[in-house]
């Protein structure tokens, strides 16, 4: 799963996200989903989430 569909992303799921400042490099940050911020059912760049650490980014991988 690539994190583009909101139905695939749930609170408590372990995911890999790309933070805004790492979009050019594509560096992945791993964490647990605290909040789902994207309201639409899908997004071509990934669903935007907030991790339990407070970091916000778009989901690239789901573990």
Please report, for the domain that includes residue 27, its CATH number: 2.30.30
Helix/strand/coil percent split, the chain, to 5: 10, 45, 45
Is residue 47 in a domain? Answer: yes
At residue 1, does pLDDT exceed 80?
no
Q: Dump pLDDT digits (tens) for 3-47.
A: 999 999 999 999 999 999 999 999 999 999 999 999 999 999 999
Opening angle at CA 63, ends 22 and 54, nearest 5: 50
Q: How many domains does the chain have?
A: 1
Is residue 1 in a domain? Answer: no
Q: What is the pLDDT of residue 2?
A: 84
Range of the domain at 29: 6-62
């Amino acid at each position: 799963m690539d994190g583009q569909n909101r139905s695939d992303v749930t609170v408590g799921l372990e995911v890999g996200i790309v933070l805004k400042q790492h979009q050019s490099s594509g560096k992945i940050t791993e964490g647990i989903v605290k909040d789902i911020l994207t309201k639409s059912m899908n997004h071509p760049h990934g669903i935007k989430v907030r991790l339990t650490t407070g970091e916000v980014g778009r989901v690239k991988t789901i573990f």
